[in-house]
Amino acid sequence: MDYHSTRGHAPHVSFEDAVLTGLASDGGLYVPVTLPRFNAQELEALSALPYAELAYRILQPFCEGTLEDATLSSLVQESYGSFRHAAIAPLVQIGSNDWILELFHGPTLAFKDFALQFLGRLMSHLLQKRGQKVVVLGATSGDTGSAAIAGCHGLPGMEIVILFPKGRVSEVQRRQMTTYTDANVHPVAVEGTFDDCQQIVKTLFVDASFKEKHPLVAVNSINWARIAAQIVYYFYAGLRLGALHRPVAFTVPTGNFGDIYAGYLASQMGLPVADLVIATNRNDILARCLETGMYDMREVTPSLSPSMDIQISSNFERLLFDLYHQDSASIHGLMESLRQNRRFTLSPAAHTALKARFSAGCADDAATLAAIASTSRESGYLLDPHTAVGVHVAKNITRRNAYGSGQRKPEQPENNPTPMVTLATAHPAKFPDAVKQAAGVHPALPAHLADLFERKEKMASLPNDPEAVKAFIEGL
Ligand SMILES: *Cc1c(COP(=O)(O)O)cnc(C)c1O
C-alpha cells in the first residue's frame, strides 16, 4: 500500500517510510492512496473474531509490502497480549440502548495503548530490519508519554526520551513513566510547562546536524500506524452489536481528532455507522466548526478532561483532505490561512459533507461532573471525566439512523433503534479527584497497578533548555 501527503508536494512512500518519518516532507500528513473496503459477506466473516485476529485482518492491507503476514500476526498478538481483559475492548451496557466501549485495559489505562503498544513493536521491528538505532523523543502532558513508554520499554533499536513538565502531571501519570526498570526508558522532568517541553522537542527535530548524529523519531498522534490501529475497535464493537443489521452510532471524546477519524475510516471501509459524534469539553473548536463552518482558534482553557484541552486538532487535516476530494491545493490554502490568521472557513460543499457525516456537542466541567454522578446513580458505573464528556454529549444528541443521509428522525430516546456506543478513553482511577468529587467514590487502581505508589521512581531532571536535552541524549 502506498501513502501520499495531504499537501501534495511530497513523494509517495511505503507503509514503512510513513511509519518511520511520521510527518511528510511538505508538512502534510500521510494517508493511504486507496482505502481497503470490506463487503457485507466479508464483514460477516469478521464478526466473531477475537480482537487480535480482527486486528490482523483490518491492518493487513495497510501494511502490505512492508510486513510479512506472519510478522504482522505476531506483532498484533504481542501488542494486545499486554491487555488485562480477555475481550481487549469490552462493551458494557449503561442504558437501554447505550453502551460504553472500554478502551482502558491496556498497561497505562488509556485508549492510547491500542495504538502505542502496536507502534512501539512495529518501529522496533522495522529498525532492527534496517540495522538502525534511534531515539524516540516526545513531550507529554501526561497520557501520551506513559503510553509511549509502555509501548517501547525494553525493545531493541530504541532509546525512549519523554519530556514532561515538572510538577504539572498527575502522580499516577508521572509514576506510569518513572517506574520502569528498563535501561532504554528515560523520563525527563523539565523545569517548565508542557508547551516548553514541546518547544524543546520541535527545536531538536529541526536541528539537522544533531539529528545526523542522533536519529530521532516521533510517536505523536499523526503517525499513520496509530490511526490504523484505532480503526480496529470500531469494527470490533460495531460488529458485536449487529451493525450489519442496524447501523451503530459512536460518540468519541475528542482532542487531536485521531480517534474519531479512525471511526470515520471504519465507515469508509464498509462498517455500517449511523453517526459519528464529536464530543469536546469547553475547548470546543471542532463543535463550533461543525456548526458554523469556521475553524477558529482560541486560547486553550484547562478543564477536568486535560487530554482534550487542545485547539489544533492535527488529524482534522486528514478528514479535510477527503472532504475536499483529495485536492491538496485546497488543504494547503486552509493550513496557510490557519498559520497566518489562526482560522479558516470551509467551502459550503465541505461544510455540508462534514455535517452529513458527523454530529458534535460539548460538555463543560459542570456537565462532566453531572454525567459522572448520574451514570453512577443510574447504572452503578464509574466514568472518567473524558468519557463523561462523551456520555453527556451522547445523551443530548438527536440520534440519526441513516448515516450520511442527512436525515435525522427525532425519536423518543427509549424507542430509538440505533445503539449508541461511547468510547471510554481512560480508566476512572487515572483521574480519581474528579470522580470522587462527582460520585463520592474513590476509584481503585486495577490489580496490575495496585503497587504503583510503592514502586521506585527513576527520572532525570533538566532545565528548560534544548542544549541540556541535547547533552542528555548525547550521554545515553
Ligand atoms: C488522547 C486522549 C483523548 C483524545 O484523543 P484524540 O485522538 O486526540 O482525539 C481523549 N481522552 C483521553 C483519556 C486521551 O488520553
Which stretches does DSSP call E strand in 49-108? Answer: 91-95, 98-102
Which letter does DSSP use for residue 418 in this model? S
Instruction: Please name the residue whose Cα sits nearest to atom 14 of ligand 1.
Output: 307
- Report the 10 Å Cβ neighbour count for 341: 10
Ligand 1: nearest atom to the Cα of 430: 13
Q: Which of 225, 15, 233, 231 lies closest to 119 in space, CA to CA? A: 225
Q: What is the pLDDT of residue 194?
A: 85
Do 350 and 324 meet the contact criterion of CB atoms below 8 Å apart? Answer: yes
Q: CA 413 → CA 364, 367, 417, 422, distances in Å? A: 23, 19, 9, 15
Pocket test for ligand 1, best of 305, 308, 313 (most atoms within 8 A of CB): 308
Helix (H, G, I), strand (E, B) or coil at 344: strand
Is 395 a residue of the active site?
A: no
Q: Is the Cβ atom of 403 under 6 angstroms away from ligand 1?
A: no
110 lines ligand 1 (CB under 6 A): yes
Ligand 1 proximity of 258 Cβ (cutoff 6 Å) = yes
Q: In angstroms, what is the span from residue 427 Cα to ligand 1's centroid?
A: 12
Distance CA 102, CA 435 (A): 17
Residue ranges of the chain whose pLDDT lies below 50: 404-414
What separation in Å is there between the alpha carbon of 64 and the centre of ligand 1?
28
- Give the phi and the psi of residue 407 in degrees, each rounded to 5: -95, 130
CA of 256, closest atom in ligand 1: 8
Give SS3 for 443: coil
Find the 97 Cα to ligand 1 centroid distance in Å. 24
Ligand 1 nearest-atom number relative to CA 384: 13
Question: Is the shortest distance between the CB of 419 and ligand 1 below 6 Å?
Answer: no
Q: Report pLDDT for 193.
A: 87
* pLDDT value of residue 202: 87
Q: Give the tens place of pLDDT for each residue, 313-337.
A: 889 999 999 999 999 999 999 999 9
- The finding on whether 256 has its CB within 6 A of some atom of ligand 1 is yes
307 C-alpha vs ligand 1 centroid, how far in Å? 5
Ligand 1 center to residue 315 CA distance, Å?
Answer: 12
Residues in a beta bridge with 275 = 249
Question: Three-state DSSP class for 252?
Answer: strand
Query: CB–CB of 124/152 below 8 Å?
Result: yes
Cell numbers for 30: 500521510
- Determine contact, residues 140/162, Cβ cutoff 8 Å: yes
How many C-beta atoms lie closer than 10 Å to residue 440's C-beta?
9
Cα of 263 vs centre of ligand 1, distance in Å, is 14
Q: Using the atom order of ligand 1, give the atom closest to the CA of residue 143.
A: 15
Which of 354, 468, 473, 336 lies closest to 406, judged by CA? 354
pLDDT, tens digit, for every residue of 24-61? 889 899 999 999 999 999 999 999 999 999 999 999 99
Q: Ligand 1: which atom is nearest the Cα of residue 426?
A: 13
**Protein residue closest via CA to atom 11 of ligand 1:** 425
Q: Is 177 helix (H, G, I), strand (E, B) or coil?
A: helix
Q: Are 60 and 72 in contact (CB under 8 A)?
A: yes
Ligand 1 centroid to Cα of residue 383, in Å, is 15
* Residue 408 pLDDT: 45
Looking at residue 22, its pLDDT comes to 83
Largest CA distance in the chain: 64
For each of the domains in the chain, give its residue range(s) and CATH number, in order of start: 91-107+225-439 (3.40.50.1100)
Q: Please name the residue that has the C-alpha cell 437501554.
A: 96
Report d(CA 426, CA 170) in Å as an integer: 14
Give, for ligand 1, the residue of 112, 219, 358 to mutate: max count of ligand atoms closer than 8 Å to Cβ.
112
Quick check: CB of 255 below 6 Å from ligand 1? yes
The answer to whether the CB of 141 is under 6 A from ligand 1 is no
